[in-house]
Chain A
Amino acid sequence: MERMLIFCMLFFCSSMAMTAAPHKIATYKQLFKTITRLETTVKDKDVELLHTPENPVDGCLSTAVICFQKGALKLQPENSQVNSTFTQTIRVLQKFTFSDSGKCESSCESYEKKTPKEFLKSFANLIKQVIR
Chain B
Amino acid sequence: MAVPGTFLMPILLLCRLSPNLAAARSPTGVECVLFNEEYMTCTWGSREMLTANYSLYYWYENRSPVVECKHYLQDQGVSIGCHFNQSEIIQFQPFRVLVNASLGGRTLEIPSKRMELQDLVKPEAPVNLTIRNMSSNQLQLTWTSPYPKAQCLEHAVKYKSNKDTSWMEQRVKGEIFSFPSVDYEKYYTFYVRSKINSYCGSTQLWSEWSVPVVWGNNSTSKSVVEEQLHWFWIHTVLIPIASCLLLLVLVILLVRMERVWVILMPRIPNPSKNFDELFVTHNGNFQEWAGVPKDIVESFKPNYSENICYVSELPPKESYEHLWESSNHLLSLMPTALAAPCEHSPYKSTYVG
Residues of A within 8 A of B (CB): 25, 28-29, 32, 55, 57, 125, 127-129, 131-132
Contacts and interface: CB of A to CB of B under 8 A. Distances in A.
B92 A131 contact: no
Given A131-B151, A132-B118, A132-B149, A29 B92 contact: no
B27 interface: no
A131 B94 contact: no
Interface of B: 63, 91-94, 116, 118, 149, 151-152, 198-201
Contacts of A32: 198-199
A127 B199 CA distance: 8
B151 A128 contact: no
Contacts of A128: 92, 118, 199-201
Nearest to A127: B199
Contact of B92 (A25, A28, A55): A55
A129 B151 CA distance: 13
Classify the secondary structure of A's interface with B: helix
A131 B152 contact: yes
Classify the secondary structure of B's interface with A: loop
B152 A55 contact: no
B151 A55 contact: no
Contacts of A127: 199
Contacts of B92: 55, 125, 128-129
Nearest to A126: B92
Contacts of B91: 129, 132
A90 B201 CA distance: 24
Contacts of A132: 91, 118, 149, 152, 200
Question: Interface centre among A29, A55, A127, A131, by most B CB within 10 Å?
Answer: A55
13 contacts: A25-B151, A29-B199, A32-B199, A55-B92, A55-B94, A55-B116, A125-B92, A127-B199, A128-B201, A129-B118, A131-B151, A132-B118, A132-B152
A129 B92 CA distance: 7
Closest 4 CB pairs of A and B: A129-B92, A131-B199, A55-B93, A25-B151
B10 to A, nearest CB: 43
B151 to A, nearest CB: 5
Contacts of A57: 63, 93
Nearest to A32: B199
A84 B92 CA distance: 34
B145 to A, nearest CB: 15
A101 B8 CA distance: 64
Contacts of B152: 131-132
A25 B94 CA distance: 25
